[in-house]
Chain A
Amino acid sequence: MAETLIDTSVLTADAPRQEIVVATVADLAAATRNTALLRDTSVAGVCHSAPDSRLGVLVVEDDCVSAELLANSLECFGYRVTVVEDGLEAFELVRTGDYRMVVSGWEMPEMTGAELCRRIRQRDWSRYVYFVLLTSHNELGHIVEGLKAGADDFLTKPFQVEELRARLRTGERVLSLESRDVMLFTLAKMTESRDIETGMHLERMREYCRILAEELSHWTEFKSTVDGEYIELLYLTSPLHDIGKVGIPDRVLLKPGRLTPEEFEIMKLHTTIGGETLAAATSQHQDARFLTMARDIAFTHHERFDGKGYPRGMAGRDIPLCGRVTAVADVYDALTTRRVYKPKFSHQRAREIIVEGAGTQFDPDVVKAFLRREQEITEVARSMDENSAAAMPVPAMKAAMA
């Protein structure tokens, strides 16, 4: 006789009366195989004409009970969920680029969760895929192996709904940071696109900033300020130093040759235009440290240590450190690349100018950091010069070499 699985006729009087559902084990097993593992909310119940903007989460789990529970929770949290039961199929789906997050079991047919993660990390995807591995309490060794494979987070079975939600929200924050980073650099590149002569200026100078800040992070007097987060923020925001140039007229910004004093006064406005624009954004998002730093850099990267810079004539350590570091990085790159108003200087000549400017134009500590990491800085300059040449179209390269 077939076994009854669910008989909702025994529901209590308090619960809504429902139709009696009777199914055999075989029926449900078949139904489970055929449907539960192919659950895909990107199709079900969604209008095909409108793109589904929900974040795509891929659940990879050969245990259909856990998969169903995970998928239900994730859908309720607002994600678009697809469930597959093996790693190979999951890898193919990740390749489509439709999924920003993967929640994967450990032991699965064809490919383990760790192996799936490893394969995802081995490829150079255009966007980061956040990977959560499901583990058991007594399998701590899996955590080490999972971390080595590149997993971002872990969820213990049996999972708790609130923990699942919290871990996925963490993943969302990580992914949004990636979006933020890309957006920041895109903004900076937009500014640079008006002034194509500077080539890979932004890429080089953010590397110089990183190197200088890393050096300072080892010094006792800077340790409390310059930590890993500071270095990362400086790397991210230093390319925005000239964002105010969007407000400078072409006749000044693109003028071949030296600027007249009047034109120079106009050019100097880029610091206040950029700084005030970012200050307005900062006032709306006061917790966003990257905006604060970007604002400070835009305002102060032309200030001088002796107080003779612009726009405010700030002096010494009144100038934020990020501005003092960016000043050295910006000038060094300007010196070592060709501009309409000057030839390309050698590293030695640029070094002399930077050293001469210690205590007047530049913070002596930052200059000292520059000298300590000189070799690394020249290596960045050299490698990015080669990259720039390799990426340059032939006519542009000929023009540059002429």
Chain B
Amino acid sequence: MIQAQTEAATTVVDVDELLSRCLGNLEFAERIIAIFQARCSTDLEQLEEAIDQQDLQRVAAVAHRLKGACANAAAHPLCERISQLRQAACANALDDVTARFQEVQDEWAHFVAAVPELQWKTDG
């Protein structure tokens, strides 16, 4: 059985789901987390820039891409926040977008804090 060791980390990533998607390959799962963090970091910068420019179409497009990344990386809480941000952008609700983006950033901070504690082990 493969499991995560740290409770904090399991709240940001569904480790079993991610490992299943990585076919149980721990090294690959770590690589995915690294790529995911890099992707998020870049996309959050792009989202901030698009919101500053009130370009909600771009916000929706970037959020869509990021939502897919979160879903496949099994980062479900972040995925949920980004989904709400995208919905607000699609509804053309700038105030709501700003508020939702703050929630995304909070969840992202939570994720970044928890991931270094992410530990994997195989039993048996």
Q: Give residues in A with beta carbon < 8 Å to B.
A: 3-8, 10-12, 14-15, 18, 23, 25, 28-29, 31-32, 36, 62-66, 68-69, 72-73, 76, 105, 107, 134, 136, 157-161
Are A65 and B64 in contact, CB atoms less than 8 angstroms apart? Answer: no
The answer to whether the Cβ of B59 comes within 8 Å of any Cβ in the partner chain is no
Are A64 and B69 in contact, CB atoms less than 8 angstroms apart? Answer: yes
**20 additional A-B residue pairs with CB within 8 Å, beyond A28-B35, A32-B35, A62-B65:** A3-B112, A5-B33, A7-B116, A8-B30, A10-B119, A12-B121, A15-B120, A15-B121, A25-B41, A29-B39, A64-B39, A65-B32, A65-B39, A65-B69, A68-B32, A76-B23, A107-B65, A158-B68, A158-B71, A161-B23
The answer to whether the Cβ of B50 comes within 8 Å of any Cβ in the partner chain is no
Expressed in whole angstroms, the Cα–Cα distance for A65 and B31 within the complex equals 10
Q: Closest residue to B28 on the A side, CB-wise?
A: A72
Q: Give residues in B with beta carbon < 8 Å to A.
A: 5, 17, 20-23, 25-28, 30-39, 41-42, 61, 64-69, 71-74, 112, 116-117, 119-123
Q: Closest residue to A24 on the B side, CB-wise?
A: B38
Are A5 and B20 in contact, CB atoms less than 8 angstroms apart? Answer: no
Say how far A350's CB is from chain B's closest CB, in angstroms.
Answer: 62
Are B41 and A161 in contact, CB atoms less than 8 angstroms apart? Answer: no
Are B112 and A32 in contact, CB atoms less than 8 angstroms apart? Answer: no
Are A64 and B26 in contact, CB atoms less than 8 angstroms apart? Answer: no
Counting chain A CB atoms within 10 Å of each CB, the highest count among B21, B73, B116 belongs to B21
Are A14 and B123 in contact, CB atoms less than 8 angstroms apart? Answer: yes
Counting chain A CB atoms within 10 Å of each CB, the highest count among B30, B35, B121 belongs to B35
In the complex with contacts A157-B72, A159-B21, A63-B39 CB distance below 8 A:
yes
Expressed in whole angstroms, the Cα–Cα distance for A248 and B65 within the complex equals 64
In the complex with contacts A12-B5, A76-B23, A69-B120 CB distance below 8 A:
no
Q: List 12 A-B contacts (CB under 8 A).
A: A6-B34, A8-B30, A11-B120, A14-B122, A15-B26, A25-B41, A28-B34, A69-B21, A76-B23, A107-B61, A158-B17, A158-B74
Say how far B9's CB is from chain A's closest CB, in angstroms.
Answer: 11
By a CB distance below 8 angstroms, the chain B residues around A157 are 68, 71-72
Expressed in whole angstroms, the Cα–Cα distance for A4 and B115 within the complex equals 10
Expressed in whole angstroms, the Cα–Cα distance for A66 and B67 within the complex equals 10
Are B38 and A159 in contact, CB atoms less than 8 angstroms apart? Answer: no
Are B121 and A65 in contact, CB atoms less than 8 angstroms apart? Answer: no
Say how far B26's CB is from chain A's closest CB, in angstroms.
Answer: 7
Are B116 and A4 in contact, CB atoms less than 8 angstroms apart? Answer: yes
Are A29 and B41 in contact, CB atoms less than 8 angstroms apart? Answer: yes
Expressed in whole angstroms, the Cα–Cα distance for A74 and B103 within the complex equals 35
By a CB distance below 8 angstroms, the chain B residues around A5 are 33-34, 37-38
Expressed in whole angstroms, the Cα–Cα distance for A4 and B42 within the complex equals 15
In the complex with contacts A64-B35, A158-B74, A161-B21, A10-B117 CB distance below 8 A:
yes
Are B36 and A65 in contact, CB atoms less than 8 angstroms apart? Answer: yes
Q: Closest residue to A13 on the B side, CB-wise?
A: B121
Q: Closest residue to A4 on the B side, CB-wise?
A: B116
Say how far B7's CB is from chain A's closest CB, in angstroms.
Answer: 15
Q: Closest residue to A70 on the B side, CB-wise?
A: B72
By a CB distance below 8 angstroms, the chain A residues around B72 are 63, 65-66, 69, 157-159
Expressed in whole angstroms, the Cα–Cα distance for A31 and B37 within the complex equals 12
Say how far A371's CB is from chain B's closest CB, in angstroms.
Answer: 58
Expressed in whole angstroms, the Cα–Cα distance for A28 and B42 within the complex equals 10
